[in-house]
Amino acid sequence: MQTSPDTRTTRLAIASDVDLAWVRQQVRQTAADLGFGLVQQTKLVTAASELARNTLIHGGGGHIEMTPLQHGLRLTFTDSGPGIRDIEQAMTDGFTTGNGLGLGLSGARRLVQEFSIDSRPGQGTTITITAWATAMPHPRAEHG
């Protein structure tokens, strides 16, 4: 794990199943530290888990950069794999290049507030997601 002192960005390798577990743990802890609620943490960890697995399986490994923001967390997944030939098709529910349900990229996109993908065949893929911590709802005042 490398941390950049000026931006507080943490970089984690994604090269094995052990790294996938470490990424999930670090994303959850960072989100909790930033004030994300449990449901928000779960959504972000689910998206991060899917994207980290794609980085490993389809991209041959790579890394994630986690950048805490004021009231949010930005995660950037980068690999040097074969890239995605047709991003629009890859983002379609049900499309899969493996044996999955085809909900990975599109599902991850639905779980976060911001999602961008940059991929070119033969040049790898970079996916950046950002989630924002929302305030907890206040309990309703009882009217008596």
First-to-final CA distance of the chain = 55
Neighbouring residues of 60: CB distance < 8 A, sequence distance ≥ 6: 79, 80, 81
Q: pTM, whole model, 2 decimals?
A: 0.84
Instruction: Determine the Cα–Cα distance for residues 8 and 141; give it in Å rounded to an integer.
Output: 40
Predicted local distance difference test score (pLDDT) of residue 2: 55
In this predicted model, what pLDDT tens digit does every residue of 98-124 receive, in sequence order? 555 445 788 899 999 999 999 988 999
